[in-house]
Chain A
Amino acid sequence: MKSLIDILDLTTQELDELIATAQDIIANPAKYATSCHGKKLATLFFEPSTRTRMSFEAAMYELGGNVISVTGAGTSSAAKGESVADTAKTVSCYTDIIAIRHPKEGAAYVTAKNATVPVINAGDGGHCHPTQTLADLLTIYREKGRLNNMTIGVCGDLKFGRTVHSLINAMSRYDNIKFILISPEELQVPTYVTKDVLEQKGIPYVQTTDLEAVMPELDILYMTRVQRERFFNEEDYLRLKDSYILNMDKLKNAKPDLSILHPLPRVNEISVAVDDDPRACYFKQVLNGKYMRMALILKLLKEAGQL
């Protein structure tokens, strides 16, 4: 049973196919309006979400399918101590595909191991968030017309930023990509990304704390939020939360065709004034995420023999 737990579960050919399907959905939405008629998506969200959950649900409705939801651990049997494995087996009895968000790292993997339907990781703690990466890839592709030959700056909380880890994993498979990793020292990218991915593949990268110094080099600037919910210590969060705030002044040396991405939600790390700049792409990302989730649901249900 094909599931999507980590972005590396998809080959670059599969990524290209998903992007092509998403582009076709954008061009011909009516063609897909009943593709998932009679199918049910379970959205199990044990952590707060606005975009990801609504995006999955909107995606399934636009494919003609239905949605059953659990939102918050307190409203399901998880509150009674039910394991993730048992939840997966139970939900498989009611639905055709599962999207799960859970605060514990590896929860989606455990779900996929125990479910009898395809599982999509909608975020497992600070670990992975592959469907955000699908949104990111489609956005980069639509803005740049390519996924190779570019310098990508990733800024903010790179330690707990699951979208960052998935993005680096995905983009490191394309040719001539350079990463500039901008973060406070305490929030640097984990070694399972720098050592096991970037260095093993010989991908050039630089770690720095200075966003403005590297701004002129960037084709993509991927901003992230310092996430309060990932800290055990409130003092550490307060000390680091305002490390990087992108405003128009900091953009004065940026390339005219820079694309600014952010997985959202933002708190204050991008000034609202930047929203009107044509280089701001983060709300386009939101829409692109829905199209890529539609393409993914179609792919996984087809491969499971459900369509």
Chain B
Amino acid sequence: MNIDSITNGIVIDHITAGNGMKLYELLGLGELECSVAIIKNASSGKIGKKDIIKIDADIPVNFDVVGFVDPNATINIIKDGVLVEKRNIEMPEHLVNVIKCKNPRCITSCEQEIDHIFKLTDREHNVYRCIYCETKAN
């Protein structure tokens, strides 16, 4: 499958094999009306095997989610059939309302309309912790 098969849209490339579905779910891609393709275990000269997500629409993508799930992924923006932007992803310092704290003792388990916020505490090992109770995100 080629990138230029999309006219206007986004290709999330170089996703570590196995992370594609997690990214699909956290980005809420299942709710889109447009065509979305997940390619699993594609061959990659760079990382051996990779997942790819192709979104056939010019929609806003939460780059923080991509950086959290897989900072090695790249984002390609396609316009009029042409690759107009290739963007490398960085791990965000904070994740807001992307994932929920699983600690049943955390204040987020009962406080109404509270933002679920995680903070990057260990960049080397990709560790995020809840800002309220410090429980590790997984």
Residues of A within 8 A of B (CB): 83-85, 102-107, 109-110, 124-127, 190-192, 195-196, 200, 232
Contact = CB atoms under 8 A, between A and B. Distances in A.
B131 A109 contact: yes
Interface residues of B, number: 23
Contact of A105 (B112, B113, B133): B133
Give the interface centre of A106, A191, A192 by most chain B CB atoms within 10 Å: A106
Q: Is the interface of B mostly helix, strand, loop or mixed?
A: loop
A106 B108 CA distance: 8
Q: Is the interface of A mostly helix, strand, loop or mixed?
A: mixed
B108 to A, nearest CB: 7
Given A126-B105, A196-B121, A106 B130 contact: yes
A124 B130 CA distance: 14
B129 interface: yes
Interface of B: 103-114, 121-122, 127, 129-136
B94 to A, nearest CB: 14
Given A125-B133, A192-B134, A104 B107 contact: yes
Contact of A85 (B109, B114, B131, B132): B114
8 contacts: A102-B107, A105-B105, A105-B132, A106-B132, A107-B107, A192-B135, A200-B122, A232-B104
Contacts of B110: 104
Contacts of B105: 103-105, 125-126
B103 A191 contact: no
A10 B130 CA distance: 21
Contact of B106 (A83, A104, A200, A232): A104
